[in-house]
Amino acid sequence: MLRVIRDIFNEDFRKLTVQGSTAWDEVTNYLGFIAPELTQKIEKYTGTGDLFADFRVEEQLAKAFDRKVYLPSGGSLVIDRTEAMIVIDVNTGKFIGKGGNLEETVTKNNLEAAEEIARQLRLRDLGGIVVIDFIDMILESNREAVLRRLVECLGRDRTKHQVAEVTSLGLVQMTRKRVGQGLIEAFSTTCDSCSGRGIHIHMEPVKMKAPAPQIDTPSSQHEDADEKDATAHEFHESLNEDATTEEPQAPKVEVKAGGRKRRRASSSGIITA
């Protein structure tokens, strides 16, 4: 607890709420010795319930464990951890912007993602090599603005870090010093069943599940259409499960008045002129 106060608590915080008499004495004595000006920001919890439950801290912890982080505008981040590095992918999601300018929309989403990435690195205490895949931007000025925003937001991080230049593939590489346990390591254990891989290995090939047959779909019930107006999808309908066991039949040809031929697609029952 004292280490967290030493590394994180500063004048940017509005207050620090402490529950329990023992913890209160430790915090007040520690801050009174190293930072007396911060003692006025300490508040003792007087409620009867649990401090974390009343301030919904457990709910925020559950969100911090999730690999997907939603941005306020509708975009999202996907944070994946590997043995060698941490990979962060930026997606626009529901964020469509205003005015119909794709470059402007992407840039705003990337700027918002840069701020959230810096926050997630501190919140989850992620360390090591971090690779960030921002959404591709055409203008060099926009790429520089996103990189500059990321560096500015990381300036509040006391953990040693270094941001490299954008690679030729549009990826941002950075390193952050690994200090102690991360948030996931502190609140999780490795799965005994799969040893943390997330999959089960079988000695024999796994039989793939057959896709569900398409029955009574709207695309399988069309009115007669002229061949020149028919789409390729109408001539390549998926067979129903019962039809797959039947032998293919030759297309039937019918003659209409006026000498025009009507061809019946035996796979879908569509007649085209």
What pLDDT is stored for residue 184 in this prediction?
81
Examine the pLDDT at 250 and tell me if it is beyond 70.
no
164 sits in the region (left: phi over 0; alpha: psi -120 to 50; else beta) called beta
Tell me the mean pLDDT in the region 250-271. 49
CA angle 215, 217, 218 (to 5 degrees): 155
219-230: pLDDT as tens digits: 445 454 444 444
pTM for this one? 0.64
Mean pLDDT of 56-83: 87
pLDDT above 90: percentage of residues in the chain: 19
Q: What is the DSSP letter of 99?
A: T
Kindly state the percentage of the chain with pLDDT values over 70: 74
Sheet holding 270-272, edge to edge: 252-255, 261-265, 270-272
Q: Helices 102-124 and 57-65, interaxial angle, to 10°?
A: 110
Q: How far apart are CA 136 and CA 116, in angstroms?
A: 18
Highest mean pLDDT among 57-66, 69-78, 205-214, 231-240: 69-78
Average pLDDT over residues 13-36: 88
What does the alpha-carbon distance between residue 75 and residue 229 come to, in Å, rounded to a whole number?
40
pLDDT at 237 over 50: no
pLDDT at site 49: 84
Between CA 143 and CA 134 the distance in angstroms is 9
